[in-house]
Structure 1
């Protein structure tokens, strides 16, 4: 029987969109809110689809980080002082949704779990979020 679980996690991080015309071209920070729905089969012994802490640990990798496009010329400059998390393309909330969903799916797979992200929302502010819904994942 399939079960759906939900987890919400917050993290603080800065990013910039180097291909954007407007304020978000500049390095700036957000309190990001991540909402994740995971579908799967609960383990017979534990009754758990995936440990909520596993989801939190995946998302926490972004906490207090600088997130930039891997091609951003700021990356080597900042790496002299601080680790930089890079993405293929600009780190939009849409792209972070896919990245985090893939990371959670990989963690579930590594643990041998029948669990996949069904839906994820990445809030960039209190009024803006990107939502990805994954069918047939």
Structure 2
């Protein structure tokens, strides 16, 4: 029987948009919220589709981190003092949604789980989010 699940995880992280013309080009932080929807066949023995703590661990690799575009010259300076998460492009909410979706899906493949990521939504403020669903491109909403 196909089962669906939902997990919400909040994390704090800083980023900047290197190629953005505006205040988001400055290093700044957010209280991000990730929402994850998954579905599949639960394990026959445990009855679990995927451990909620696994979802939290995958999302929380970003917690209390600085996230920068791989082309950002700030990486060399900050790396002297702390680890930087480097992304293949601008560290937008759209890209974080894709990265988290891909990380979760890779975990499920590696663990031979039937779970599939249905949707990942990343909130970077209380009224703005980006989401990626299935194999679609990310979408954005602000209210």
Structure 1 segments of 4 or more deviating over 4 A?
A: none
Matched, 1:131 2:131: yes
Deviation at 1:135, TM superposition (A): 5.1
Deviation track 1:86-130 (CA, whole Å, cap 9, x = no partner) reads: 110000000000000101111111211011111010000001000
Deviation at 1:40, TM superposition (A): 1.2
Q: TM-score, normalised on structure 2?
A: 0.92
Deviation track 1:64-88 (CA, whole Å, cap 9, x = no partner) reads: 0000001100011100001000110
| Cα pair 1:54 1:107 within 8 Å, conserved | no
Q: Give the Cα separation in 1 of the matches to 2:45 and 2:23.
A: 51
Unaligned runs of 5+ in 1: none
| Cα pair 1:13 1:29 within 8 Å, conserved | yes
Corresponding position of 2:106: 106
Corresponding position of 2:34: 34
In the comparison of the two structures, how many residue pairs are matched?
A: 136
Q: Give the Cα separation in 2 of the matches to 1:21 and 1:112.
A: 44
Q: Give the Cα separation in 1 of the matches to 2:27 and 2:98.
A: 21
Q: Secondary structure at the match of 1:61?
A: helix
Corresponding position of 1:92: 92
Q: Give the Cα separation in 2 of the matches to 1:90 and 1:17.
A: 6
RMSD of aligned C-alpha atoms?
Answer: 1.1
| Cα pair 1:118 1:135 within 8 Å, conserved | no
Counting only pairs closer than 5 Å after superposition, residues 1-137 of structure 1 correspond to structure 2 as: 1-134=1-134
Q: Secondary structure at the match of 1:5?
A: strand
Q: TM-score, normalised on structure 1?
A: 0.96
